[in-house]
Structure 1
Amino acid sequence: MKILITGATGLIGKEIVKRCHEEDISVHYLTTSKEKIKSEPNFKGFYWDPKQDIIDDKCFEDVDAIINLAGATIAKRWNKSYKKVILESRIQSLSCLKKGLSRVKNHHVKHILSASAIGIYPDSFTKYYDESFSIISPTFLGEVSAAWESAVDKFSELGLFVSKVRIGLVLDTNEGALPQMVKPIKLGLGAAFGSGEQWQSWIHVYDLSKIFVHIIQNELDGVYNGVAPNPVSNSELTKVIAKTLHKPLFLPNIPEFVMKLVLGDMYILLYESQRVCSKKIEATGFDFAYSNVQPALEAILK
C-alpha cells in the first residue's frame, strides 16, 4: 500500500509516517520546501505550492489513498489577517490536490482522509457530542472546520470515498498545546482557565496516528471523532499535569479577559467546552493505548 500525505512534517504527520512504516505502508509526501524533499524507498517527497496551484502530479503515482493534514497552525495569535490565512490554507490545499488528481487519468487513488477539528461542535458544558450532531458552532473554529469538511467532500466528485477525523486536544511531548500548559506549572505558576469546568476532549498523539492508519487500512468512510474515550475538565487536566510533575497548584483560576489580552481571539481554545464521544471509532475495532489522561501524561512527561 502507498499513501500520499500532506502536512507530513507536522506534529500529527510525523507520527502517521511512523505508523505507516511500522505497517509496511510506503509514503509519498508533499512539501512547500524544496529542501525537505527526500527520495527513499518508502518515503518520497514532492513539491507543491497550494497558493499558486502548483503540484507535482508524480506524487499520485501508485498511491492508493491520501491523508490530508495541510493547513496553517491555529496555535498562533489570531488577528483578522491570520484568521484568513488559517481558513484559506486549508481550502487552497484541498483545491490544489483535487485539481492535480483530476489531471491524472490512470491513478489508483480511491480514498481521501482529511483532518478536521472538534471545534465544529458548539461550546457546551452539558452536551455529549457524537458524529451525528449537525449544528455547527458559530465561532471561527466552527466556520473553519465546516469549510474544511465541505472542501474535502468535493473529492466524491472524482469517485473517491471520503473520511474525516475531528481532532481534539493532541497530547505530545514536544509540540502542540501540552508543552505550553506544562511551562507555567513547572515554574509553580499553573492554574486552570475560567471556571475550570469546561470539557477538554484530548487524545495521545500515538492513538491519533493509529486512528488515521486504521481508517485507511479498513477503508472506513464518513466522520470519526479523534478523541480518547474519557474527556476531562480543564481543572482536572491541570491537576493531573501538576501531579505528574510533582508541582503544587495554588494560584486562582485565570479569567477569560486576561488570556484574551494575551492571545487575542485564540483565547477561546482554552475556554470552550466540548465533551466528545469516541464510540464510533471504537465500534470499528479500534483499541486505544491511552484511554485515561493520567497514564497518557505519565507516558509523555516522564
Structure 2
Amino acid sequence: MNANPICSWCHRHAETPLHVLFTCSFAQELWDRVGMQEVLGVEDTTTVLQVFQQMFNSSSRSKKVMLGLFCWSLWWRRNSWVWDRKIVSAFGVQSMALGLLQEWQSSQEELGGGGRNRASSANRQWCKPPEGWIKVNIDAACHAQQGYIGIGSVARDENGQFLRASGRRIQGRWKPREAEALGLKEALLWVREWRTSKCVFEMDAKTVVDAIYGDGGNSYFHTIIEDCVDILHHFHEVVVVFERRSANKVAHVLAQTAYSMTDHMEWIDIAPDFICNLLSDDV
C-alpha cells in the first residue's frame, strides 16, 4: 500500500502510535479536556509502552481504565477520519470512552457474578452509573391532539438513591423525535443548574443519541440537537446513552404525569410516594 506516513489530522508529524495517542494536537486537546495532563509532556523518544507503564505505576484503578478507553477511542476516531472522512470532536471521543465504560459496567450488573441468560436481558432493570457519577433518565410523551408534550427526568446516584426529579409540559405539536430531543435539552439545562461533571444522561430514543454523535443536518430536529451539544460542552465529564424502555420506566411515568402540569415542577430531597414506589421496583 502507498500509505501516507504523515499524520492525517495535523499534517505536520509522522503518524507513529505515540503521535496518534499522545503528542498530536488533537490528542493533547483530549487529554487536557479530561484532566489527564500527566501525558501531555511525553517526549518523542518515549514509547507507548513506557507511557502506559508510567501511568499504571502512579494512577488509580479508575484512571488506568480510562487511559485504555481513551486510547482506544482516539484510534477509532483516527480510523473514522482516514477511511470514512468522518470528523469526531474531542467531546465525541470522550463521550465514546465514557459510553464504553457505562456499557461494560451495565453488562456486569446484568451478569451479577453468576451470569444471566439472554431471555432475562429482555426484562432489563435500571443499572447503576460508575462510582462518583449520577445517572439522569429522560423521557418525553407526545399528546399531539392536545398540542403539547410532557417531559420527565429523574436523577439517581451511584447507589440508585433518588436525588431529584423534574417534570414539564411544553406547548406545540412536536413530532416524536423532536419531543425526545427537547426532553434531552430540558434535562441538560435542568442538571446544569446544580451539577456539571460525572453525569450519564440515559434515554430510550436511539435516534436522539445517534444524532448527538453524528454529523448534523438541516432539520428543526437537528437544530435542537445542536443546542444539546452546545450545552453538553458546559459539562466536564458527561455521556449520553441509549437504553431500552424497560430500564427507563420512571422517567416515562414522570413524562406522562407532566401532562397535568401547567408549569415546570421539581422534586428535591424527598420524592413523592409514587416516585419512591417506582424506584423500588426499578433498581
Fold agreement, TM-score > 0.5: no
- The TM-score normalised by the length of structure 1 is 0.23
Q: Which has the larger radius of gyration?
A: 2
Using the size of structure 2 for normalisation, the TM-score is 0.24
Higher helix share: 2
